[in-house]
Structure 1
Amino acid sequence: MRIGLVVDSACDLPAGFFEREQVDILPITVRVGDAVQVDHRDEAQTLAFLESHIAERGASAETIPFTPEQIRDLFLERLVVDYDYVFCMTITGSRSPIFANAEKASYMILNDYKQPRAAAGNSTPFALRVIDTRNLFCAQGILPVEAARMRAAGEQPLNIRTRLEELARHTYGYLVPRDLYYIRNRARAKGDRSISLLSAALGTALDIKPVLRGFRGETGPVARIKGFEPAVETMFDFATRRVQAGLLTPTVTLCYGGHLDEMRALPGHERLRDACADRNIEVFESVMSTTGMVNVGRGAVVVGFAAEEHAFE
């Protein structure tokens, strides 16, 4: 059976992974003033857009995901012919309409796939499953990496589906932002009043940085630490301890809102990489998507992994 994998462009994984595993991408369009970029996970393009637009006016950016009709057309034009079963793994539905759009599109696709498959000489059924990863940034990438591994091992779709849905319940993403004012302004532009001006001002004045956790569709602070680098080091060292305690998949994902050399120079990064190497954990590092950077600002750091339930400490 030919199994296809689809993610949206907010999924932070290296371009080499998407190319090697032939993962299709649902692009997200980002508009900042008059500047428009369709995010296809091109790191050079993302960095150029970051330098020219996001730092100045990113908080007011508009992100435009594929509509249900666009998702349907992508599948009917190619994917229903190239594959027999497709897993579409999206950013958490609590923060984006992409999951809902893909779910709506799936009904249209399953009603309309027979003609294009028949035209290609294939009369067998086509199936797809839309899965809410319940996470963001590079933590969203835990599921497609595992799906690619299972596909390569010859696992059947039902086993892959069961595994991915279980992992979505145990995937954690931890983020340290660099600029609280940016996040506050971005949140207000989207109608989210969860980060007040006072808390942003106090955090900036005192150089207090939160460690934010994404888990099962919910996001919120789990720690507050003085200084950006100490906060990142605390997050990396915590991830190192989780690696040493044992993960549910042999994968750790990292992403950064800027050039990766900057992230690799941060304290704790090398210890995390060494711990992963000691335990045969594969590390995927990527530049944060344009969509991600317009939401949390440049310089934010994220680590993702799947593990048993735990507290940040």
Structure 2
Amino acid sequence: MRVGLIVDSACDLPYEFSRKHDLFILPVTAVIDGQTYTDEHDPVRTQEFYQSGLLQKGHQAETRAYTAEQIHDLFMEKIVTQFDLAICETVTKTRSLIFQNATEAMNSVLSNYQKARDAAGREGRFFMRVIDSKQIFAGQGLLAAHTLSLIDQKLSKNALRHEVETFTDKIYTCVIPRDLHYIRERARRRGDKSVSALVAFLGKALNITPVIFGQGADGLPAVKTRSFDMAVEKVMNYAAARVEAGLLTPYVSLSCGLTWTEIEDLPGLNRLRDACERNGVELLLSQMGITSSIYVGPGSLCLALAAEPHSFSEFQ
């Protein structure tokens, strides 16, 4: 049985890792200053966006999920004809319509896949599951990496689904937003009140950079610092200490809305690299995708790992 893993464009992973494991990327549409772009995690296009300045303040940017019809067509053409079982992991359904649209597309596909498989010479039945990752960005990337390791274990389709859905609640995410006002305005346009105007005001008035920490997309300020570099240092210290204490999967996922030169200069990054190397953990370091950067703001950072219950302050 050939198993395929599908993730959407909000999932941040190194390009080479995604290509090596043949991940299928479900695109997201980005609309910037009225121009429409398709985010397919092309590293060249992503780098062009960072260099163009289109992701900076002053540009009207938003993301739009593919419709159920568009996703249905992609599944029928690319997934049904190549795999016997497909797992589709989407960005948390509390932040996007992708889960809803992918589920609708899946139901249609499961009722109409036979002709496409016959035409492709693919024998046997086709199975599919759409799973709410409950994650964003690097958290999605971590779940995808862990799912690939589960697929390698040749689990049954029901066992695989159970393991993935159970694991989502064990992922902890740190987000450092570069501009709280950017997030507030994006949230306001989506009707999301999770970032208040007061927090945004304090961030501007006092030059506060918070570290948002929690399980999956449900995070709260764990610490407030006076600079981005100070916040990064605290996150790197946390991650290195948590790696030393032990993880539930041998990956740390880190995505940054920065150029590669800026990423390599992040304070504490080499300390985290050393901790990962000592403990047999793979650091999945990536440039934040277009979709992620539009959502949380250019210059931001997201780190995810899976561990037993803990607080951020325990590892400072």
* TM-score class, shorter: over 0.9
Aligned residue number for residue 151 of structure 2: 151
Cα deviation digits, residues 179-232 of structure 1 (max 9, x gap): 122222222222334434443232222121111125244233222222211111
Structure 2 Cα separation of the partners of residues 134 and 193 of structure 1 = 18
Q: Distance in 2 between matches of 1:73 and 1:245?
A: 45
Partner of 2:242: 242
Amino acid at match of 2:54: H
Question: 1: CA distance between counterparts of 2:87 and 2:4?
Answer: 6
Question: How big is the shift at 1:39?
Answer: 0.4
* Segment drifting more, 181-190 vs 298-307: 181-190
2-structure distance, mates of 1:78, 1:185: 36
The alpha-carbon deviation at position 29 of structure 1 amounts to 0.8
Q: By how many angstroms is 1:153 displaced?
A: 4.1
C-alpha offsets along residues 57-101 of structure 1, whole Å, 9 cap, x if unaligned? 34x322111111111111112311211000101111111111111
CA distance, structure 2, for counterparts of residue 143 and residue 201 of structure 1: 34
Equivalent position of 1:179 in the other structure:
179
Q: Cα offset for 1:123?
A: 4.2
User: What amino acid sits opposite 2:24 in the alignment?
Assistant: D
2:288 pairs with 1:288: yes
Question: Residues of 2 paired with 1:106 and 1:4: CA distance?
Answer: 14
Q: CA separation in 2, counterparts of 1:216 and 1:138?
A: 10
Partner secondary structure for residue 38 of structure 2: strand
Kindly provide the CA deviation profile for residues 254-279 of structure 1, in whole angstroms up to 9, marking residues without a partner as x: 10002133122121211111111100
Paired letter, 1:95: R
Asked whether the 8 Å contact 2:142–2:253 carries over to 1, the reply is: yes
CA distance in 1, matches of 2:269, 2:36: 33
In 1, distance between residues paired with 2:48 and 2:190? 24
Q: Any residues of structure 2 matched to 1:190-205 within 5 Å, and which?
A: 190-205=190-205
Alpha-carbon distance change, 56 to 217 in structure 1, aligned in 2, over 3 angstroms: closer
State the distance in 2 between where 1:78 and 1:182 align.
Answer: 36
Partner of 2:23: 23
C-alpha distance in 2 between matches for 1:216 and 1:198: 24
Aligned residue runs from structure 1 range 113-132, under 5 A = 113-132=113-132
Q: In structure 1, what is the Cα distance between the partners aligned to 2:215 and 2:61? A: 25
* CA-based RMSD: 1.7
The aligned amino acid for 2:270 is E
SS in 2 for 1:18: helix
Q: Report the CA distance between 1:31 and its aligned residue.
A: 0.6
| Secondary structure in structure 1 of the residue aligned to 2:44 | helix
TM-score, scaled relative to structure 2: 0.93
Q: Which amino acid aligns with 1:105?
A: A
Is the counterpart of residue 52 in structure 1 residue 53 in structure 2?
Answer: yes
CA contact (8 A) 2:176 2:300 kept: yes
User: Which blocks of at least 5 consecutive residues in structure 2 are unaligned?
Assistant: none
Q: Which amino acid aligns with 1:279?
A: N
Amino acid across the alignment from 2:31: R
Tell me the equivalent position of 2:98: 98
Deviations 1:271-309 (A, max 9, x none): 111111100001111111111111221111111111111
Unaligned runs of 5+ in 1: none
Identity of aligned residues (%): 40
Letter in 2 for 1:52: G
The answer (yes or no) to whether the contact 1:85–1:128 under 8 Å persists in 2 is yes
Supply the AA of the counterpart residue of 1:124: G
Aligned partner of 1:219: which letter? G
Q: Structure 2 matches for 1:1-313, cutoff 5 A?
A: 1-50=1-50, 51-58=52-59, 60-313=60-313
Higher mean C-alpha deviation, range 224-233 or range 79-88: 224-233
Tell me the TM-score normalised to structure 1 length: 0.94
CA distance in 2: counterparts of 1:87 and 1:106, whole angstroms? 10
